[in-house]
Amino acid sequence: MKTSDWAQFFFPIALILIGYDKVNLEVQCRFGLDIPTGMVNEMSDRLYVGIDLGTYQSTISSSAGASHTIETIVGRPKDPVARNFLGRDVLFGNDALKNKLACNLYRPMAAGVAQDDEANLAAAKAFVSHLLETVDPEEYDEVFGVICSPSHVSFTDKSNLVATLRGQVNAIMVVTEPFATAYGIEEIAGSIVVDIGAGTTDIARIHGTFPSDEDQITIQEAGDWLDLALMELVVKKYTGAQVTKDMVRRWKEASSYVGKETKEVMVELSVEGKKQVVDIGDLIVEACESIIPLVGNAIKKIVATADPEYQPVLRNNIILSGGGSLIDGIAARMAEEISDIGDVNVWCVEDAINSVANGALKLAGEMPDDMYTAIN
């Protein structure tokens, strides 16, 4: 058999066994083989991802059109019995919650950053790997990701964030959550974005470029803080009530609201082991109202420290995002709270859950390679 015949026979087998992108193109040239255009390049495409690693839930969007949201929780079996029962070494999201009595649970992204201890860092890395697997990165030769963080994080927090992604993607860019939201909805010309997440509330002025540290404020009063406030109110009103944070969060997500009118919100809880159905509508509005002045004061500070000629533009384009923006009536209530600074326009993003990840994805595909940091 001639050399060219031998190569023509075995080359397709090599393509199947090794992969189209792994075969040296010199072989094609040397033996004059005719490989259809696109066969070799199919695996060399770059996948872009936008990732919102949240305290409570995380969202990933990819340039291939996939998008997934998973609760940021990792479960590991407590003992060999639990391991045999679950049939896995690690569980994620709702799957971990459903089996929480058989697992040690980790929420590795408290306050939006990876926790600085071995167990949580390992959980964070496992979670990020699982999140990335949902968009099939193995089908691409390289993965570039824009990762979103709270507005103010320490060097250690950033280092931990990079560590969770090392080996998972080829290069990353870290941006703040408010900026990603503004970029995604094309509101970077002049706006204030208020991202009310679970771990933090991040407020930033956006004016056509990446915001500086002086353009941003982070406060700790956010969704988790509100959950604890509501839990305390429930326990105080209904003596002996057995309430967990997860129960309170579900009630809040289903029925949160602000305003002067009190709504009826009936929920089921246990009081010393006995089922009771009670109305917590007054407690929900009290808890939700308590965060309004705190966020309002932070918005006022962002406006007051801006260029005075630019302040009217910012006052008239205040955008609420994150899970907290889903509180019924919050835009009108926030506008009322800060009305003493002048005419204001406050509105909520349409897709509060996906706006950060979608903005990060848009940014990922439009930024030059020199904006990324290689982490392999």
Residue range 301-324: mean pLDDT, rounded:
96
In the prediction, which pLDDT does 149 show?
A: 81
In the prediction, which pLDDT does 154 show?
A: 65
Contacts of 303 (CB under 8 A, 6+ apart): 192, 311, 314, 315, 341
Residue range 209-223: mean pLDDT, rounded:
93
In the prediction, which pLDDT does 75 show?
A: 95
Residue range 307-328: mean pLDDT, rounded:
96
**Domains and their CATH numbers in the chain:** 3-43 (no CATH), 202-221+290-348 (3.30.420.40), 223-287 (3.30.420.40)
Residue range 30-37: mean pLDDT, rounded:
40
Confidence bin at 301 (pLDDT 50/70/90): very high
Q: β-strands 46-52, 142-149: how paired?
A: parallel
Confidence bin at 114 (pLDDT 50/70/90): low
Handedness of CA 356, 357, 360, 361 (dihedral sign): negative
Confidence bin at 18 (pLDDT 50/70/90): very low
Task: Tell me the chain's radius of gyration from C-alpha atoms.
Answer: 25
In the prediction, which pLDDT does 295 show?
A: 97
How far is it, in rounded angstroms, from Cα 195 to Cα 314?
16
Contact 355, 187 (CB under 8 A): no
Structure token pair of residue 130: 């699982």
Task: Tell me the pLDDT of the chain averaged across its residues.
Answer: 86
Instruction: Report angle CA 345, 351, 355 to the nearest 5 degrees.
Output: 90
pLDDT tens digits, 351-363: 999 999 999 999 9
pLDDT tens digits, 44-103: 589 999 999 888 899 999 999 999 999 999 999 999 999 999 999 999 999 999 999 999
Residue range 174-201: mean pLDDT, rounded:
94
Instruction: Report angle CA 367, 128, 349 to the nearest 5 degrees.
Output: 55
In the prediction, which pLDDT does 152 show?
A: 66
In the prediction, which pLDDT does 42 show?
A: 41
> pTM of whole model > 0.85?
no
